[in-house]
Chains A and B, each alone.
Chain A
Amino acid sequence: MTNELVGKTTSPKRILIANRGEIASRVAKACRELGHTAIGIWTDNEIHARHLEFCDEWVHLQGMTNAETYLNIPNILKVIKENKVDAVHPGYGFLSENADFADALKEAGVVFIAPHAEAIRVMGDKATSKTLAKEAGVPVVPGSSAAVETVAEATKIADQIGYPVLLKAVAGGGGRGMRACHNESEIKSNFEAVQRESESAFGNGDLLVEKLIVNPRHIEVQIMADKKGNVFHFFERECSIQRRNQKVIEEAPSPFIGDDEDVRQKVCQTAVKLAEAVKYDSAGTVEFIMAEDKSFYFLEMNTRIQVEHPITEEITGIDLLVCMIQSAFGEDLGIPNQEFIKRSGHAIECRICAEDPITMLPAPGKVTGFETNFPQGTRFDNCIFKDLEVTPDFDPMIGKLVTKGINRTIAIRKMMCALDGLHIEGLKTNIPLHKVILREENFIKGNYSTAYIATIKPQEKVTTQFDYLRIFNKLAGIEANRMGL
Chain B
Amino acid sequence: MRTYLIDNDKNEIIIDLTRTTVHSHELVEFEYSAVRDNEIVQKENIFVRKLAGRYFSSTDNKRWTRLAKQNLPTHILNVDTIYKVFRGYKPSGLSGGNDGELLTQMPGKVVKIQVEKNQEVKAGDTVLILEAMKMENEIKSAVDGIVKEVHVKEGDALDQGVLMLEIEPK
How far apart are the CA atoms of A155 and B65 in the complex, in Å? 63
A368–B82 CB distance below 8 A: no
State which of B13, B46, B72, B81 has its C-beta within 8 Å of the C-beta of A482.
B72
CB contacts under 8 Å to A, within B112-135, are none
B66 CB-CB contact with A under 8 Å = yes
Query: How many angstroms between the C-alpha atoms of A485 and B24 in the bound complex?
Result: 9
Which of A356, A471, A485 is in CB contact (< 8 Å) with B80?
A356
Q: Which of A110-118, A338-346, A402-410, A424-432 contacts B (4 or more CB under 8 A)?
A: A424-432
Cβ contact within 8 Å between B57 and A473? yes
Q: Among A371, A474, A485, which residue has its beta carbon within 8 angstroms of that of B66?
A: A371
Beta-carbon contacts under 8 Å, A415-448 to B: 421, 423-428, 432
Classify chain B: how many residues form its interface, as a range.
Answer: 35 or more
- The verdict on B160 contacting chain A, using a C-beta distance below 8 Å, is no
Tell me how far the C-beta of A358 lies from the nearest C-beta in chain B, rounded to whole angstroms.
5
Q: Taking the complex as formed, is B158 at the interface, i.e. its CB lies under 8 A from any CB of chain A?
A: no
Interface residues of B in 28-78 (CB under 8 A from A): 28, 30, 32, 34, 41-42, 44, 46-48, 50, 54-55, 57, 59, 65-73, 75-78
Main secondary structure of the interface of A (DSSP, over half): mixed
**Which secondary structure dominates chain B's binding surface?**
strand
Interface Cβ pair total, 8 Å cutoff: 139
| In the assembled complex, A478 has its CB within 8 A of some CB on chain B | yes
Determine the distance from Cα of A218 to Cα of B5 in the docked complex, in whole angstroms.
Answer: 43
Interface residue A386 (Cβ < 8 Å from any Cβ of B): yes
Which B residue's beta carbon lies closest to that of A357?
A: B80
Residues of A close to B25: CB separation below 8 A: 485
Q: A357-B79, A477-B68 are in contact. Are A426 and B55 (CB under 8 A)?
A: no
- Report whether A474 and B75 are in contact in the complex, using a CB–CB cutoff of 8 Å: no
Q: Chain A residues near B73: list those with CB within 8 A.
A: 368-369, 425-426, 478
Query: B32: nearest residue on chain A (CB-CB)?
Result: A472
Complex contacts, A368 vs chain B, CB 8 Å? 68, 70-71, 73, 75-76
With an 8 A cutoff between CB atoms, is B17 at the interface? Answer: yes
Residues of A within 8 A of B68 (CB): 368-371, 386, 423-425, 477
Q: Is B3 in the interface zone, CB < 8 Å from A?
A: yes
Question: CA of A426 to CA of B85 in the docked complex: distance in angstroms?
Answer: 11
Instruction: Report whether A473 and B67 are in contact in the complex, using a CB–CB cutoff of 8 Å.
Output: yes
Establish whether residues B76 and A485, one from each chain, have CB atoms under 8 Å apart when the complex forms. Answer: no
Give the distance to chain A from B21, nearest Cβ to Cβ, in Å.
Answer: 12
- CB-CB contacts below 8 Å: B72-106 with A: 72-73, 75-82
A482 to B71 Cα, complex, angstroms: 7
Rounded to whole angstroms, the CA-CA distance of A427 and B74 in the bound complex is 11
Bound state CA distance, A358 and B78, in angstroms?
A: 13
A485 touches B28 (CB 8 A): yes
How far apart sit A186 and B10, CA to CA, in the bound complex (Å)?
50
State A104–B7 Cα separation when bound (angstroms). 51
When the two chains form their complex, are residues B76 and A371 in contact, meaning their CB atoms are under 8 A apart?
Answer: no
Chain A 343-383 per-residue mask, 1 if CB under 8 angstroms from chain B, else 0? 00000000000001110000001101111010000000000
23 A-B residue pairs with Cβ-Cβ distance under 8 Å, sorted by A, are A365-B75, A365-B82, A368-B70, A368-B75, A370-B68, A371-B68, A423-B67, A423-B68, A428-B77, A428-B80, A432-B80, A462-B80, A464-B79, A464-B80, A466-B13, A472-B44, A475-B3, A475-B15, A477-B67, A477-B68, A477-B70, A479-B30, A481-B70
Give residues in A with beta carbon < 8 Å to B: 356-358, 365-366, 368-371, 373, 386, 421, 423-428, 432, 462-464, 466-483, 485
Residues of B within 8 A of A (CB): 3, 5, 13, 15, 17, 20, 22, 25-26, 28, 30, 32, 34, 41-42, 44, 46-48, 50, 54-55, 57, 59, 65-73, 75-82
Smallest CB-CB A-B distances: 7 pairs: A369-B68, A369-B70, A476-B46, A477-B67, A368-B73, A480-B48, A371-B68
Q: A358-B80, A371-B68, A371-B69 are in contact. List 10 more A-B contacts (CB 8 A).
A: A365-B75, A368-B71, A386-B69, A473-B57, A475-B30, A478-B73, A479-B30, A480-B50, A481-B55, A482-B72
